[in-house]
Amino acid sequence: MTTAGTTEQIRDELARRTLELCAMPSETCSEEKIADHVEGLCRTLAGAASTVRIGNSIVCTPEYSHAEQKPVIALVGHLDTVKCAEEQPTEIRDGRVYGCGSSDMKAGVGVMLALLARWQTIAPLYRPIWIFYDKEEGPHEENGLEPVLRSNILPKIDLALVLEPTDKSLQMGCMGTIHATLTVAGKRAHSARPWQGENALYKAAALLEKFSGLTRREVCFGDLTFYEVMVVTRAWTSNSANVVPDSAMLNVNVRFAPGRSPQEAADELRAFVGDAAEVEIRDAAPSGAVYLDHPLLDPWRVRQKLTIAPKQAWTDVARFTDRGIPAVNFGPGETAQAHQAGEWCSIDSLEFAYTHLLDFFGASASAS
């Protein structure tokens, strides 16, 4: 299939590519099968010499003539998904591709592969490279993109396009995130004689009430508004059922806006908690810088009349901008569908991302 086909043929190809990827279970830390599949496609489409595998991540750098004269654009997508819902369908129906990870982000990987199938003709303006990686949905320190960025196999990247779902908009920056365990201390006792102890759960209630009173905080970059939050997502104890707990633990997720560091966010959390609990930072990821007027993006954004929006979540844009590499989010899929039971991606959004990226690279819809 080529882009010279009809719109319906293109939509069908994109939908089938996405469905094929969704049919491959690839929960975080179980990406070997899908990595094998993508590596095989890269070798077939661009050649073995252009394809390098690092663990379950694949980098594809086709050799273009006069490539050294063109800015390098990285197309970036993760292969893994969260654990699938038991009731998740995997099918094409009613203008949608249903499947675990369809919006987040096998649709993005499908568009990347469709563009790779046309690598020889899509890039009059820039030199694209493809980065597929694993473990995005897991802990920050295990993310498969990190070994790729630390390797010496990548050319100097001028701009990274991360194909996370963006609701047909160009999403700038991303929120930073930390996960912390708050431990509230009590005194252990038999549950038949609770007056002999001090129930850590009851003490934690006051701290929970304090968190429940928090509201979102606005941080603005031009017309973009990010919302910073601190939210309790889990509460647990480790005692037996007939024991007054001597400790109660809370998981707190902090989302902080571009311009702030993980250390600043952690310091604010500790100040907020005070001496009510011990704070342990378990996982932290930086925020992604905002590039509102980037010269490689502006002509395309204006020409295509793309809506600019903030990324009210964390993405691997932050890994690039933390290294001084400009990066933005632009990909197919609906953000509200990410991690949902019955997750789907509209075929309209697949076509939208594909045709707009063709235009970005300087190719027309009639390129083959």
Catalytic residue list: 80, 136
Cβ–Cβ < 8 Å for 126, 365: no
Dist. CA 126–CA 64, nearest whole Å = 10
Euclidean distance between the first and the last CA atom of the chain, given in angstroms as a whole number: 9
For 17, list phi and psi in degrees, rounded to 5: -60, -45
Cβ–Cβ < 8 Å for 93, 62: no
Helices (H), 254-346: 262-273, 298-304, 317-321
Cβ–Cβ < 8 Å for 333, 107: yes
Q: Where are the beta strands (DSSP E) in the chain?
A: 51-54, 57-60, 72-78, 91-93, 96-98, 127-133, 159-162, 170-172, 176-185, 189-190, 217-221, 224-236, 243-244, 247-256, 278-285, 308-310, 327-329, 344-346
Dist. CA 155–CA 70, nearest whole Å = 12
For 235, list phi and psi in degrees, rounded to 5: -145, 135
Closest among 77, 89, 79 to 27, alpha carbons compared: 79
